[in-house]
Amino acid sequence: MQTIAFGERRKQMVTISPGTTRVGWIGTGRMGAALVRRLLAAGYDVAVCNRTRAKAEELGADGATVVDRPVDLADRDVVFSMVSASADLREVTSGTGGLFTDDASAPAVLIDSSTVSAEASAAVRIEAAKRGTQLLAAPVSGNPKVVSSGKLTLAVSGPRAVFDQVEPLLTPLGRAVTYVGDDEVARLVKIAHNVFLGVVIQSLSEITVLAEKGGVSRAAFLEFLNQSVMGSVFSQYKTPALVNLDFTPTFTMPLLRKDFDLGLAAARELEAPMPVASATAQLIAEAIGAGRVEQDFAVLIEEQARRSGLTLKPEDADVTDGLDGDTDA
């Protein structure tokens, strides 16, 4: 068990354990809901809030308490937030009914798992400090199925002592929690990760289309690739989408473009040329211009096929994403 010292405005002590720690969660979309379920399964008392209350109410059947506003979570020991954009994070923390708008109480720690800019994160950190709340930036890698399989990973930055204290609360969320440094550096880690994600899916689309134009089925090519030293958890995971053209969204093109914008802005600021990422950003913009906004970002394979004069058809092959059969761990 670990003990957290509350900020200057809250002098109590709280022990991180399922029996005593009261957790709040802001943002119960697909990812947020999946992560809340893992905390509930680990025995934690969790209260949830979502802009669309109906999404939060689905977690009531799993044992979560549903509240109407982020400020209703201010008396919780630790609060997580997972929202879509920088403006949303500022709204749920300092906007009307935000987490930090109750002068009488504030959580000891806010753990934010949104993918937002370092500037937005730093602004929220300042607001948190005014309430005696410590902020950890904790973006994640994965999607709801990855969460359910226990393979989610987290990159965390902020005060090391606070990380050490709340790590027992983070470990039930996935298979690996990595402390990456002070302040907002976890934001850069996640943005770099997502830029790589886009570059890899574009490259994977290009070589798969090349193989198919040469007469090789996508299923056969990707089976070979996945068994080679070039295969990866990601290439395996995206194989069903690329082979059977099931683009049920796990991560959409507009969200990917947002992260490329953040990544390329960071590259300019840090004078780090990213020619491959820059080219990929143009292809993502082209796909969005063609109306590819609701499907999974793996739909880039169809855009690549179109440019190559090839019309793809689902192969209806029995392929695995590599997550089937895994249990929560």
Look-up: residue for tokens 């059977």? 244
pLDDT > 90? residue 118: no
CA–CA dist 302, 311 (Å, integer) = 8
pLDDT > 50? residue 7: no
What pLDDT was estimated at residue 9? 44
CA–CA dist 14, 78 (Å, integer) = 9
pLDDT > 70? residue 12: no
Q: 165, 166, 160: which is closest to 186 by C-alpha?
A: 160
Q: What is the CATH number of the domain that holds 54?
A: 3.40.50.720
Q: Residue 145 — very low, low, confident or very high, per pLDDT cuts 50/70/90?
A: confident
Residues 137 and 163 in one domain: yes
What pLDDT was estimated at residue 116? 87
Residues 21 and 91 in one domain: yes
Residues 204 and 142 in one domain: no
Q: In DSSP terms, which residues pair with 177 in a beta bridge?
A: 154
Residue 314 lies in a domain: no
Residue 270 lies in a domain: yes
Residues 18 and 134 in one domain: yes
Instruction: Mark which of 127, 156, 183 sits at the end of a domain.
Output: 183
For residue 107, which amino acid is it? P
Residue 202 lies in a domain: yes
For 148-165, how does the pLDDT look when each residue is reduced to its tens digit (9 = 90+)? 889 999 999 999 999 999
Residues 151 and 207 in one domain: no
The rounded percent of the chain whose pLDDT value lies above 90 is 85
Kindly state the average pLDDT of the residues 82-109: 94
Reading the block at residue 239, the tokens are 């194989």
For 304-314, how does the pLDDT look when each residue is reduced to its tens digit (9 = 90+)? 999 999 999 99
For 25-51, how does the pLDDT look when each residue is reduced to its tens digit (9 = 90+)? 999 999 999 999 999 999 999 999 999
Residues 116 and 205 in one domain: no
Alpha helices (H) in the chain, listed in sequence order = 30-41, 53-57, 86-94, 118-130, 144-148, 160-170, 185-213, 218-227, 233-244, 253-270, 275-289, 300-307
Q: What is the CATH number of the domain that holds 246?
A: 1.10.1040.10
Q: Which residues contact 224 (CB under 8 A, 6 or more apart)?
A: none
Residues 135 and 200 in one domain: no
Q: 299, 94, 275: which is closest to 205 by C-alpha?
A: 299
Task: Please name the helix (run of DSSP H) or strand (run of DSSP E) that holds residue 179, with its range, or none.
Answer: strand 176-181
Residue 207 lies in a domain: yes
pLDDT > 80? residue 10: no
Residues 284 and 169 in one domain: no
What pLDDT was estimated at residue 14? 56
Considering the chain, what is the average pLDDT of its residues?
92
Residues 19 and 148 in one domain: yes
Residue 315 lies in a domain: no
Q: Residue 15 — very low, low, confident or very high, per pLDDT cuts 50/70/90?
A: confident
Residues 243 and 140 in one domain: no
50 burial level (CB within 10 Å; 0-12, 13-18, 19+):
buried
Instruction: Mark which of 155, 183, 211 sits at the end of a domain.
Output: 183
Q: Residue 19 — very low, low, confident or very high, per pLDDT cuts 50/70/90?
A: confident
Residue 312 lies in a domain: no
What pLDDT was estimated at residue 11? 39
For residue 198, which amino acid is it? G
For 249-280, how does the pLDDT look when each residue is reduced to its tens digit (9 = 90+)? 989 999 999 999 999 999 999 999 999 999 99
Instruction: State the DSSP string of 106-170.
Output: --SEEEE-----HHHHHHHHHHHHHTT-EEEE--EE--HHHHHTT--EEEEES-HHHHHHHHHHH
Residue 201 lies in a domain: yes
Residue 165 lies in a domain: yes
Look-up: residue for tokens 């295969």? 231
CA neighbours within 13 Å on the CB side: how many for 107? 31
Q: Residue 328 — very low, low, confident or very high, per pLDDT cuts 50/70/90?
A: very low
Domain that residue 51 falls in: 2-183
Instruction: Mark which of 139, 167, 183 sits at the end of a domain.
Output: 183
Residues 159 and 214 in one domain: no
Count the domains in the chain.
2
Kindly state the average pLDDT of the residues 113-142: 93
Residues 26 and 175 in one domain: yes
